Amino acid sequence: MDRNHKIILWGGVGVFAAMAVMLILLLTSNTRQADAADAAIARADSLALANDRLQLTQEFNQLNADFSQYEDQQVYLKNDSLVQQYNQARMKVEGLLRDLESEKASNNRNKARIKQLESEIASLKKIVRHYLEEIKRLGEENEGLRKEIEQVNQRNEQLASRAQTVERDNAELTQTVAKAKKLSISGLSFQAYNKKGKAEKKIGKAKSLGASFTINPNSTAAAGAKTVYLRVVSPDGSLIGSGPSFSYDGATLQSSGSKTVEYDNGETHVQIYCQVATTLTPGDYTVEVFCDGARLASRHFNMEK
């Protein structure tokens, strides 16, 4: 082979080798570019998934906050089925979030988890919305009941006030009737008598004492037998005489003397006497007359020595 042929042959080999090298370099570069593109796409997918997970986590936290805000109003609910549903759905969402946080799975696996999480959070939203609507509805019902109770209480207060007024009026009427039925007397006089039964000016010689008065007419009072009681109290506060006892103002009193008369609602004159067991002293004597549990008169008489 002459020299020219060798040059041509070796030149062709060189060119072929150079082309092969260039082809290898070109293929290597394309592979690297493809790998880089795939890596970029994978990173973009991972960022998108991370962003989706973050948004879902924020939605979940907001739902928890909304639910907790009204959690103390569960007393409005007749049963806690909504609360149970919410807790079950919340536990499922929390489990999915933990799985996404801990697993190093492929993007396809993560995408499936994200899609499942979106579905669970959508269900959770429905439960929370239904829960809040139920709370609102029951709260409005309770507010209506509260207003009705207030109205009933107001009516009861008005009725109680009217009842008190009627009771007071009845009490006043009863007192008025009692006063109207109460007997009254006039012309009360007090006299000392000696041992001969004659009027005695000197109290020291008195052997008996007597009071006389007139029961005034009263058509409202009950007619019939009336026992009238006399009490005579000496200046030193001692009761004179020893008559029967009687009731007055919730207490039992001793009388100096008494007399039963027939009262016909007309004017009735009464005289009551009491015996004196000791020598009396001059001074101020208190004379009281009682009948039907009431005191008809109380007067003071100054008796001379």
pLDDT confidence band for 62 (50 / 70 / 90):
confident
The answer to whether residue 268 scores a pLDDT higher than 80 is yes
What percentage of the chain reaches a pLDDT higher than 90?
37
pLDDT of residue 67: 67
- Between 2.60.40.10, 3.90.320.10, 3.90.800.10, 3.30.1330.200, what CATH number should domain 185-303 receive? 2.60.40.10
Q: Which residue has the higher pLDDT, 70 or 180?
A: 180
Give the tens place of pLDDT for each residue, 181-222: 899 999 999 999 999 999 999 999 999 999 999 999 999 998
- Quick one: pLDDT at residue 231? 97
SS (H, E, C) the chain: CCHHHHHHHHHHHHHHHHHHHHHHHHHHHHHHHHHHHHHHHHHHHHHHHHHHHHHHHHHHHHHHHHHHHCHHHHHHCCCCHHHHHHHHHHHHHHHHHHHHHHCCCCHHHHHHHHHHHHHHHHHHHHHHHHHHHHHHHHHHHHHHHHHHHHHHHHHHHHHHHHHHHHHHHHHHHHHHHHHHHCCCEEEEEEEEECCCCCEECCHHHCCEEEEEEEECCCCCCCCEEEEEEEEEECCCCCEECCCCEEEECCEEEECCEEEEEEECCCCEEEEEEEECCCCCCCEEEEEEEEECCEEEEEEEEEECC
| pLDDT surpassing 90 at residue 91 | no
Domain boundaries, the chain: 3-138, 185-303
Whether the per-residue pLDDT at 104 is higher than 70: the answer is: no
Q: Confidence band (pLDDT; 50, 70, 90) for 224?
A: very high
Q: What is the mean pLDDT of the chain?
A: 79
pLDDT at 73 over 60: no
Rounded Cα gap, residues 47 and 260, in angstroms: 118
CA dihedral for 301, 211, 195, 207, sign (positive or negative): negative
* Residue tagged 């962003």 (tokens): 51
* pLDDT (average), residues 53-79: 64
52-62 mean pLDDT: 71
Q: CB pairs under 8 A, 24+ apart, for 72-78?
A: 73/135, 73/139, 76/134, 76/135, 76/138, 76/139, 76/142, 77/134, 77/135, 77/138
Q: pLDDT for 112-154, tens place per residue?
A: 777 777 777 777 777 777 777 777 777 777 777 778 888 888 8
- Which of 10-14, 45-49, 74-78, 109-113 has the largest mean confidence? 109-113
Please report which confidence band the pLDDT of residue 45 belongs to, taking 50, 70 and 90 as the band edges. Answer: low
| pLDDT score of 37 more than 90 | no
Q: Which of 77-81, 82-86, 217-221, 255-259 has the highest mean pLDDT?
A: 255-259
